[in-house]
Structure 1
Amino acid sequence: MTAKASDKTVGILGGMGSESTAYFFLKVIKSTPARTDQDHLRIIVDNNSNIPDRTQAIFGMGESPVAEAQKTIHILENAGAELIAIPCNTMHYFYSELQNSTKIPILNMISETASHISNTFPDIKKIGLLATTGTLETRLYHKAINDIEILIPDDDLQKKVMNSIYGEQGIKAGYTFGSSRNEILEVINVLIDQGAEAVILGCSELSLLSIEEEVSVPLIHPSQVLADVVIKTARSDT
């Protein structure tokens, strides 16, 4: 499928974290029907690692990420981006502030994932959610998903999730095997035992673990959902 002149240029607001940004970019590439270089979308990536931590900001323990993220939005806008994707779940707590700072549409990963679940799993009654404490406390997915009971880890298990993401041997530090992987699998299995029929990996780092074959229920990757929506939206004539 050859790229068309009407294809929209995609901007990726990255850096949260850097490896998950690269993973998301690769997901867009791998999910695009293409046989030649020219079949792919034009994509501009700003991996802004200066954006402050989102969860710390939500809990009043750190600087707001909005101003730094807005800098990247304007960089992408000036570079020619016609739509923007943010492959970070927790950052969507600040979605309205970011969208209000630009006329370029910013795709909403949370609402797109909720739509994906509704369309793909119409009969599901209980779904597990693994995410940062910031995402859980702000209830981003709870507000977006209707008529499905969302199961989340208890406090002790949530500490394991956060350690798996942020710990010295966590995913953000480059560890996708060992204790970080084992702890995430433990938490997922607890949610499955509680009745989860699928599990949302609601932090982009979690998708780096590639644990599908070790889990007995479907895993939902918001980063993959967003990648698919990026392609569909960029190739839309509207």
Structure 2
Amino acid sequence: MAATRIGAPMLGVLGGMGPLASAQFMLRLTLLTDAARDQDHIPAVLWSDPRVPDRTAARIAGGEDPLPALLRGIAGLQAAGCGAIAIPCNTAHGWIEGMQAATPLPILHIVDAAEAELRRLGVAPGPIGVMGTAGTLAMRLYQARLEARGWTCLVPEAAEMATLVSPGIAEVKANRITAAYEPLAEAAQRLVVRGARAVVLGCTEIPLGIAAGPALPFPVCDTIDGLARAAIAWAGRSLSQSGSATPAGLA
């Protein structure tokens, strides 16, 4: 009988931003891990707190600061014995310095995970599209980090954010997944027309909306999958060769 991984490191997942994206992260973490039985999977604690104040409103509209709520989640995950933290919310990474200062645990950066995912897809540094919340794009989370490494980030125009990207994200948050596909796919296609060789889905609601319709005819970087792969690497596990696709009915 194979030994149980008693000493396996525990992953902390700071979620709830939104709840469906956090659930999808846990699903992808499970499916992407090479495992034959329960005990082969990565121990994880999901802290799903949808009460965290809106990150975009905090950054661009003077809304309530989300950092205190984020720090409560960090403290809870640390108390639970976690060895690292993954945050399946791109916009929350605008407060990563404050979160990292509050804990000795490493926080897996979603932008670094997205860059690794781009390279896995065979996309070399150059022009890429980046979709995300208005807060993520205003904070230049992707632009600043990736442009320093040779990438050129094309982002939706203000009108496209107002009529396509933000409404698409809102549809996913309201559990109207299929309604999100058309506006999000249109925004991605426009970035490709402007010269992007791939599009980063830099809001964890966006991959859910894009998955609700026909596959796009160009590379897309799913930041949920990228972060899941980064977590698997942190845990010292191997990627599954058979479970990378989401089974029918779970998409």
The TM-score with structure 1 as length reference comes to 0.91
SS at match of 1:99: helix
Partners of 1:56 and 1:117 lie apart in 2 by 29
Query: Shift of residue 3 of structure 1?
Result: 5.8
Measure how far apart 1:2 and its partner are. Answer: 6.7
Structure 1 residues 189-235: Cα deviation after superposition (integer angstroms, max 9, x where no partner) = 11111121110000000111215843111110111111011111112
Instruction: Tell me the number of residue pairs that the alignment of Structure 1 and Structure 2 aligns.
Output: 232
Q: Could you say what secondary structure the match of 2:105 adopts? A: coil
| SS of equivalent to 1:177 | helix
Query: C-alpha separation between the residues in 1 aligned to 2:172 and 2:124?
Result: 33
Pick which of 208-217 and 135-144 moved more: 208-217
Alignment correspondent of 1:97: 98
Identify the residue that residue 11 of structure 1 maps to in structure 2. 12
Q: Secondary structure at the match of 1:12?
A: strand
Residue of structure 2 in register with 1:204 after alignment: 204
In structure 2, what is the equivalent of residue 154 of structure 1?
157
TM-score (norm. length: structure 2): 0.87
Aligned residues of 1:54 and 1:90 also touching (Cα < 8 A): yes
Corresponding residue number in structure 2 for 1:127: 128
- Superposed CA deviations along residues 147-186 of structure 1, whole A, max 9, x for unmatched, are 22211111111112111112xxx110001113x2111111
Match in the other structure for 1:50: 51
The offset of 1:79, in angstroms, is 1.0
3-state SS of paired residue (1:204): coil
Identity of aligned residues (%): 31
Asked whether the equivalents of residues 212 and 218 of structure 1 are also in contact (C-alpha less than 8 Å), the reply is no
Distance 1:147 1:120, change over 3 A: same
**Aligned equivalents of 2:58, 2:14: Cα separation in 1:** 18
Amino acid at match of 2:191: L
Q: CA deviation digits over 1:20-46, x for unaligned, max 9? A: 000001110001111111111111111
For 1:174 and 1:113, how far apart are their aligned partners in 2?
25
**CA distance, structure 2, for counterparts of residue 51 and residue 3 of structure 1:** 36
Q: Which residue of 1 aligns with 2:89?
A: 88
Structure 2 stretches of 5 or more lacking a match?
A: 238-251
Residues of 2 paired with 1:199 and 1:66: CA distance? 29
Give the aligned CA root-mean-square deviation in angstroms: 1.8
Q: In structure 2, what is the equivalent of residue 183 of structure 1?
A: 183
1:102-124 C-alpha deviation (Å, 9 max, x unpaired): 11111111122224434643535
Aligned partners of 1:124 and 1:197 also within 8 Å: no
Question: 1: CA distance between counterparts of 2:168 and 2:117?
Answer: 26
Q: Does the residue aligned with 1:41 lie in a helix, a strand or coil?
A: coil
Contact 1:114 1:141 in 2 (8 A): no
CA distance in 1, matches of 2:103, 2:4: 26
Q: Residue type matched to 1:158 in 2?
A: M
SS at match of 2:92: helix
1:208–1:119 distance in 2 versus 1, CA, 3 Å: closer
SS state of the match for residue 214, structure 1? coil
**Distance (whole Å) between structure 2 residues aligned to residue 220 and residue 202 of structure 1:** 8
SS of 2:108 mapped into structure 1: coil
Query: In 2, Cα distance between the equivalents of 1:154 and 1:82?
Result: 40
Question: Are 2:165 and 1:164 aligned?
Answer: no
Q: Which is worse superposed, 121-130 or 32-41?
A: 121-130
SS at match of 2:129: strand
Unpaired runs of 5+ residues, structure 1, are none
